[in-house]
A and B are shown apart, each in its own frame.
Chain A
């Protein structure tokens, strides 16, 4: 149990386009999901906390108008990178909290912006 999926696993897009990444908890309901970003050879940095039915809470320095997060159901959160640029190229990973104790991570999405 406690499986989290992400789609797509990788995406290449042109500069200026928007990309949507989905995070799904497959076998449990997640009231809270988290989005992290990892640059090469760096650790994971929290971008935002997403609660079902409410607006996401963004970390300092993360542009909420650029990284749109929607948590419309207890099993799905989406991250849309709007008007992507090469500096947005990164590894995006989501996690879902089944209870307050543990988070389960998706396999990540590799975004490359040309």
Chain B
């Protein structure tokens, strides 16, 4: 059974720092991996989608990498801002058309 783990569970940084969020999954046979952002009491915002054949994806200050063989993904946030404060969720899809399996998330707090 696929399990997704995110480390750390919480992170507090001052504004301007670069940071890395980690995600690991137990079964390397994934179809794709997605990173989401969730603000308190709100739904999910998709940040980046990485197909199993890809190594990384970039969007603005965000860069996500995927090492499928080792079951790891990282989300790199450059020059963090207070508006980046949220919970970041990592999720994997085992087979095309099946549901996402989520990690518990990393709650990020960026202070000004």
Contacts and interface: CB of A to CB of B under 8 A. Distances in A.
B46 A44 contact: no
A101 B49 contact: yes
Interface residues of B, number: 24
A93 B96 contact: no
Given A43-B89, A44-B102, A100-B97, A105 B49 contact: no
Contacts, number: 53
A15 B42 CA distance: 24
SS of B interface (majority)? strand
Interface string A97-110: 10011111111101
Given A101-B49, A105-B43, A46 B105 contact: no
B43 A106 contact: yes
Interface of B: 31-32, 34, 36, 41-44, 46, 49, 51, 89, 91, 93, 96-105
Given A44-B91, A103-B34, 6 more contacts: A42-B104, A46-B100, A102-B34, A102-B49, A105-B46, A108-B43
